[in-house]
Structure 1
């Protein structure tokens, strides 16, 4: 049974209840001062606490999508080495569709009325990175009157470690985009949803690591190129945007600032502005000071030519640790008069899915207003 299985969660809850009831029932019998009685009390307490912590942890993982599998949890995931070579004229391509289904939580009669979510594998030609993703296609994509139309696209990124599935099920990007388009509040858009952890379990902070994963190249060059070969997406930078939360928010802002020729707009939900170096990242820069500086967005906006792009950042006055850094970043961007900076500042909201679900509708509307379908 998988880490995110309801059966696993149910078993953990049942075990916790059984241990709790057993502790109440056996406690009078273990009230003696013998070593066996003391050991029994300690064992019951520890067992009950572990079962409770396991239940809470499994529930939190399901709710927030931290880890997708047991291998992911224990750092044993091995899918980073998958590279697929496709010969010219072959049946393969950089995007392989594995399955498709309707938008979760939406009732309808097929993709022409409710759109479609496709589970895909994407392979980068330059970076040789292969990663799973989910693609949302709006209803218009399947309607005959739009068969020659191209659509704007937004890459949507999770935090670290995160799961791409959480963007679909927990943060509800497809459902929200579908409803906003039906209400006339945004144009139909294609969403490419994935996590920035393309070399798990390592957190590369979307850096082209010297001698390591070329994550920035994958997102800035390989990903748009791959999507263009398979879907009707606008080819110009003005058709492409990128959204992310937490680590994904930092990556989104960096991609637009480093590559305005690839992304015309970026939205960072609860982002930070400088790549950390810690046990999850390893050595990202290998003493390359220029690479390290360019991974600091505040340094970048002050020392390099300001990119012609649109940026959106979010935070909250109470509950988010990035509030002061966000206000400083906004001021720094305003001083350049080149990137267009917008913000969503909540009165309160933590670093969690509930906060981001409040920010996603206006973020998608903002993104839609800055992208074209050509």
Structure 2
């Protein structure tokens, strides 16, 4: 059974309830001072507490998507990514379809009504990285009257060490854009949902690491090229945006700023503005001071020509650590870069806050991207 499966969570909760009940039932029999009675009480208390902690941890992981598998949880997922050989004659597809699933909306079992979520692996020719993703296709994608239409695309990134599954189950991106489009608040849009960790378990911060994973190249060049070759998407930057939370928010802003020729808009939900260096990232720059400075978005706004792109940043006056930095970031933006913001009175660095921001953020994104009827 998988780490995020309902069966595992249910089993843990039932075990915790059974141990709690057993402790209450057996406590009078273990009330003596003998070593057996004391050992029994200690054992029951420890077992009950461990079961409760496990249940809470599993529930939190399922809600917030910190770890996807047991290997991910215990640090056994150490593969640095997959090198893919490509047929120069074009015989292989950069997008490998692994399965489909319905969208959790009324009528979601029919793609022409609810759309469809496809599980894929995207291969990057220039970065030599292959990474899993979920692609949401809106209902219009399957309707005959839109068969010649190209659709705008939003790349959606989790935080670290989040999972792409959490973007569907925890943050409800497909359901949100489906409902917003149905209400006429935004245009139908393709979502490419992934985590920024393309070389798990390392947190690459969407950086081209010297001698290591070329994460920025993958997201800026390989991903748009691969998705456009496989789906009916717009081919220009005006049809592409990127949104993310926390680490994914930093990546989204950086990609839009560094690569306005690839992304016309970037949204950072509770983003920070400089790549951290810690035990999860390792040495990202290997002494390349220019790359390290460029990864500092405040420095970039001060020293580099302002990119022609649109940015949206979110924060909270209470509960977020990035409020002051976000205000500072907004103040540094110069034309032709455009900046917008969402500031909540209160809200922590969590899924509940981001769910409050996503509908408005996706409506904003839709207004800055274009689809086209051929």
What is residue 344 of structure 1 aligned with on the other side?
342
Q: Is contact 2:237–2:262 with CA below 8 Å preserved after alignment?
A: yes
How far is the alpha carbon of 1:28 from its aligned partner?
Answer: 2.5
- 1: CA distance, partners of 2:341 / 2:361: 9
Q: Does 1:306 align with 2:282?
A: no
- 1: CA distance, partners of 2:350 / 2:197: 18
Q: Does 1:110 align with 2:110?
A: yes
- 2: CA distance, partners of 1:163 / 1:150: 28
What is residue 146 of structure 1 aligned with on the other side?
146
- 2: CA distance, partners of 1:141 / 1:165: 22
- 2: CA distance, partners of 1:79 / 1:115: 33
Cα deviation 1:59-105 (Å, max 9, x = unaligned) = 00111111111001111125544333232456531101111222123
What is residue 237 of structure 1 aligned with on the other side?
237
- 2: CA distance, partners of 1:104 / 1:85: 36
- 1: CA distance, partners of 2:28 / 2:368: 69
Q: Does 1:127 align with 2:119?
A: no
How far is the alpha carbon of 1:373 from its aligned partner?
Answer: 1.9
Q: Is contact 1:104–1:168 with CA below 8 Å preserved after alignment?
A: no
1:1-374 mapped onto 2 (5 Å cutoff) = 1-78=1-78, 80-89=80-89, 91-108=91-108, 110-333=110-333, 336-374=334-372
- 2: CA distance, partners of 1:81 / 1:360: 30
Q: How does the TM-score come out when normalised to structure 2? A: 0.96
- 1: CA distance, partners of 2:265 / 2:201: 28
How far is the alpha carbon of 1:37 from its aligned partner?
Answer: 2.7
Change (3 A) 1:20 1:356: same
How far is the alpha carbon of 1:113 from its aligned partner?
Answer: 2.2
Q: Is contact 2:81–2:131 with CA below 8 Å preserved after alignment?
A: no
- 2: CA distance, partners of 1:136 / 1:198: 20
Q: Is contact 1:102–1:110 with CA below 8 Å preserved after alignment?
A: yes
How far is the alpha carbon of 1:45 from its aligned partner?
Answer: 1.6
RMSD, matched Cα: 1.5
How far is the alpha carbon of 1:290 from its aligned partner?
Answer: 1.4
- 1: CA distance, partners of 2:91 / 2:56: 46
How far is the alpha carbon of 1:169 from its aligned partner?
Answer: 2.0
- 1: CA distance, partners of 2:300 / 2:270: 19
- 2: CA distance, partners of 1:196 / 1:39: 47
How far is the alpha carbon of 1:109 from its aligned partner?
Answer: 6.2
Cα deviation 1:120-161 (Å, max 9, x = unaligned) = 110100111111101111122122222222111110001111
Q: Is contact 2:102–2:109 with CA below 8 Å preserved after alignment?
A: no
Q: Is contact 1:202–1:281 with CA below 8 Å preserved after alignment?
A: yes
How far is the alpha carbon of 1:14 from its aligned partner?
Answer: 1.5
How many residues matched? 372
Q: How does the TM-score come out when normalised to structure 1? A: 0.96
Cα deviation 1:244-298 (Å, max 9, x = unaligned) = 0111000000001111111110001111111111111111111221111111111
> What SS class does the counterpart of residue 268 from structure 2 fall into?
strand
Cα deviation 1:281-325 (Å, max 9, x = unaligned) = 111111221111111111111111111110000011111111111
- 2: CA distance, partners of 1:7 / 1:232: 38
Q: Is contact 1:237–1:264 with CA below 8 Å preserved after alignment?
A: yes
- 2: CA distance, partners of 1:33 / 1:106: 61
Q: Is contact 2:209–2:285 with CA below 8 Å preserved after alignment?
A: yes
Q: Is contact 1:306–1:339 with CA below 8 Å preserved after alignment?
A: yes
